[in-house]
Amino acid sequence: MSDHLDQLYLTYLDTVDTYQSLRASLATHFSTGFLSLAQANYNSTSGGRRYGEDFYDERMTATRGVDVEDGVFECKLFELEKEEEEEEEEEEEGEEEKSEKSKEQTPAIDPRDPIRWFGILVPSALRQAQSEFTLSVQTIIPQLTTTISKLAMLSSEIESYHSHAGTKYLYKILTTAPPSPLPGAVELLPLDISDGFIHLCTATQTVGVIERFMPDSEKLWLLKIPYNKVEKDIKWESVTRREERGEEFPHMFAERLGSSEVEEMREVIRLEEKGWRESLEGVEWLE
């Protein structure tokens, strides 16, 4: 088993531990929140009315949303709508002016705070319930969702490594001749630069890639790369079409590819009046 695969397993187990801790924390906060809500209802002084749907403001809108970037989920407060800001300004103009000192001493109140639906003097148990639920929604649930996403990614990566455990070499196809001897970093194709990773292929994928993207080329140059040299930088990824996963291709997430990774370089020529498949058929160098 490679060192990189060992590291993947360690990361996976560490992430599982994080997942279990977050689940336990979420259960604790929800339990405390519902217990506090039950206590607030039990001690309610509002004529037997329970703190619930009867108090909801029908004009309510969401105050929090989820921002997702690169598999990381983050809860964010929405900004106040412009109309709400204008209404508040008009209300403030209608009120009597207060001294700067009293303004500094008065804490700012968020007009969107849902707890205000239940009145001004709400029981402390209700505030505790709100605090527990807010912490769960704003912090724990996004962290838990991010952790689940990370577990799925690690699981897929581990599965890919097992699927390609027998791979010995990867190949980089170049359309122009690289310098000889090969430099520490060869010039990457525009596609590699735009995608942010280096496109590679296995021996069996080489012909298909050439036929699809470079069928009219007369000459090509292949860089032969030992898989164990670049394994830690490789991600096997596929394009999903119609809910079906396609063939996985090795993508190298590194800034350069050069002499330290490449074992051998060869020029290949398309045979006259033949396609690339016939030209590369039986080439033992591709393994």
CB 158 within 8 A of CB 9: yes
Statement: 167-280 belongs to CATH 3.40.50.620: no
Instruction: Indicate the burial class of 257 (C-beta count within 10 angstroms; 0-12, 13-18, 19 or more).
Output: buried
Predicted TM-score of the model (pTM): 0.64
Domain spans, the chain: 1-80+122-162, 167-280
CB 119 within 8 A of CB 4: no
Residue-wise pLDDT tens digits, 199-241: 999 988 999 999 998 888 899 999 999 998 998 898 888 866 6
pLDDT of residue 82: 47
Distance of CA 187 to the CA centre of its chain: 29
Residue-wise pLDDT tens digits, 131-149: 999 899 888 998 999 999 9
Report the alpha-carbon distance of residue 206 to residue 22 in Å, rounded.
45
Per-position b or e across 139-149, b if 16+ CB within 10 A of its CB: bbbbbbbbbee
pLDDT of residue 15: 94
pLDDT beneath 50: ranges in the chain = 82-85, 99, 101
pLDDT of residue 83: 46
pLDDT of residue 89: 53
